[in-house]
């Protein structure tokens, strides 16, 4: 019963098959192959406009490199205090940007609001040369708390950012889960709502080390190709990332995988919420479930072979008692039922 992370899941069979096909024969290196060029065009088709897309190997690399072209080294990036760029990238954004400051902003359930962004900007005014000028707003979709921004919420918060002359970056490690949950188009969830650059994730949803950075205004890409090379993310055999995205986008596989994970997480959340003493901390809107258990229950679950992740963050409303469970495209109904039953027995023996 493994609900530790969707990163623990393997690759979807369609992705493996695509890699095997890409392995036949030879092809130009460093993205100069026909498949890479074709898949870059497919991203423009997916987002309904001319985009500039770059493939990289990791989500952290995608975020850091995207931010590096949206802010100067002396600039400032506003982000949620629980965001991945703030909590889980070991200073990667600061490294890739050459030292840009992250300004963590609080917000309920992993989400920022227009009011919170306005307040953060007002409380950190530009004081040249002493204060870092704000240059970017980084949003996470879906959030680190398993919630999602609606299209209207995105439009409202991004309007505030653009009024303040901030570019908007979206960390879309679980973008597929958010799109599948909302039902809006990828375009409506990004550039039509004011997003300038997207870190488009595939690895958490059935791919193997396949991420992309998408600029909705090609002019914003500037010198990204040089930054990617310098950062070590220009893979010599780029066709193997392109092959994954080729399969990922075919017949909406990316949304089918994400929808499966979302459904299993919602089923788990609903079943757990009916158990005495279990509290669901945030709305389960994508494939993440956040819950608190009575003392000792999580330990009993681990001892019985279940995998779940303790969740402690600056905005933790549960005083260190919260745990995160994540479903993946591989999660089966039997896994959900077994985890719920194990929880019920742990509560009973408590």
pLDDT band at 339 (very low <50, low <70, confident <90, very high): very high
What pLDDT sits at residue 281?
95
| Helices and strands: H and E segment counts in the chain | 13, 11
Write b or e for each residue in 294-305: b if 16 or more Cβ atoms lie within 10 A of its Cβ, otherwise e.
eeebbebbeeee
At 151-171, the pLDDT tens digits run 999 999 999 999 999 999 999
pLDDT, tens digit (0-9, with 9 covering 90-100), for 193-221: 999 999 999 999 999 999 999 999 999 99
The residues spanned by each domain of the chain are: 15-251, 253-349
Structure tokens at 165: 């002359």
The residues pairing with 169 across neighbouring beta strands, listed in sequence order, are 138, 197
State the pLDDT confidence band at 317, using cuts at 50, 70 and 90: confident
As a whole number, mean pLDDT of residues 294-313 equals 92
Residue 190 scores a pLDDT above 70: yes
Q: Give pLDDT tens digits for 10-26.
A: 999 999 999 999 999 99
pLDDT digits (tens, 9 = 90+) for 127-142: 899 999 999 999 999 9
Nearest partner of 169 among 96, 242, 62, judged by Cα: 62
Q: Where are the alpha helices (DSSP H) in the chain?
A: 13-22, 34-46, 59-70, 84-87, 92-97, 114-123, 151-163, 175-182, 224-230, 239-249, 253-273, 297-303, 333-349
State percent of the chain over pLDDT 90.
94
Q: Is the pTM of this model over 0.85?
A: yes
pLDDT of 341 above 80: yes
Identical fold for domains 15-251 and 253-349, yes or no, is no
Alpha-carbon span 140 to 123, nearest angstrom: 22
Evaluate whether the domain defined by 15-251 bears CATH number 3.50.50.60: no
Task: Report how far residue 70's alpha carbon sits from residue 251's, in angstroms, rounded to the nearest whole number.
Answer: 33
Whether residue 47 is predicted with pLDDT greater than 70 in this model: the reply is: yes
Residues 87 and 62: beta-carbon distance below 8 Å: no
Could you give the CA distance from residue 290 to residue 323 in angstroms, rounded to a whole number? 6
The 10 Å Cβ neighbour count of residue 41 is 13
Q: Residue 164: its pLDDT value, please?
A: 97
DSSP of 294-305: -TTHHHHHHHTT
- Give the CATH class of 253-349: alpha beta
Q: What percent of the chain shows pLDDT beyond 70?
A: 100
Q: What is the pLDDT of residue 350?
A: 62
Reply yes or no on whether the pLDDT at 72 is more than 80. yes
Residues 192, 180: Cα–Cα separation, whole Å: 17
**Is the distance from CB of 160 to CB of 128 less than 8 angstroms?**
no
Is the CB of residue 142 less than 8 Å from the CB of residue 283?
no
Alpha helices (H) along 274-322: 297-303
């Amino acid at each position: 019963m493994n609900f530790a992370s969707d990163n623990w899941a393997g690759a979807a069979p369609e992705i493996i098959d695509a890699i095997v096909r890409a392995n036949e024969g030879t092809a130009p290196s460093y993205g100069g192959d026909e498949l890479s060029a074709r898949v870059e065009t497919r991203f423009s088709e997916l987002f309904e406009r001319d985009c500039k897309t770059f493939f990289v190997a990791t989500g952290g690399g995608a975020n850091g490199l995207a931010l590096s072209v949206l802010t100067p080294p002396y600039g400032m990036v506003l982000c949620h205090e629980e965001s991945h760029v703030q909590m889980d990238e070991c200073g990667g954004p600061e490294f890739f940007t050459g030292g840009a400051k992250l300004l963590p902003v609080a917000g309920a359930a992993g989400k920022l609001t227009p009011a919170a962004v306005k307040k953060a900007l007002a409380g950190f005014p530009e004081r040249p040369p002493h204060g870092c000028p704000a240059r970017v707003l980084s949003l996470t979709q879906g959030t680190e708390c398993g919630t999602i921004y609606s299209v209207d919420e995105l439009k409202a918060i991004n309007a505030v950012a653009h009024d303040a002359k901030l570019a908007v970056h979206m960390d879309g490690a679980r973008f597929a889960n958010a799109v599948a949950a909302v039902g809006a188009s990828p375009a409506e969830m990004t550039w039509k709502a004011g997003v300038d650059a997207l870190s488009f994730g595939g690895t958490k949803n059935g791919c193997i080390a396949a991420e992309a950075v998408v600029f909705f205004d090609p002019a914003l890409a500037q010198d990204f190709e040089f930054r990617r090379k310098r950062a070590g993310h220009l893979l010599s055999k780029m066709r193997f990332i392109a092959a994954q995205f080729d399969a990922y986008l075919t017949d909406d596989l990316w949304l089918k995988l994400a929808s499966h994970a979302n459904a299993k997480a919602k089923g788990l959340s609903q079943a757990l919420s009916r158990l005495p003493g279990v509290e669901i901390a945030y709305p389960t809107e994508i494939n993440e479930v956040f819950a608190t258990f009575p003392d000792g229950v999580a330990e009993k679950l681990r001892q019985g072979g279940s995998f779940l992740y303790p969740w402690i963050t600056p905005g933790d409303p549960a005083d260190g008692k919260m745990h995160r469970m994540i479903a993946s495209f591989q999660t089966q109904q039997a896994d959900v039922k077994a985890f719920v039953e194990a929880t019920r027995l742990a509560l009973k023996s408590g």
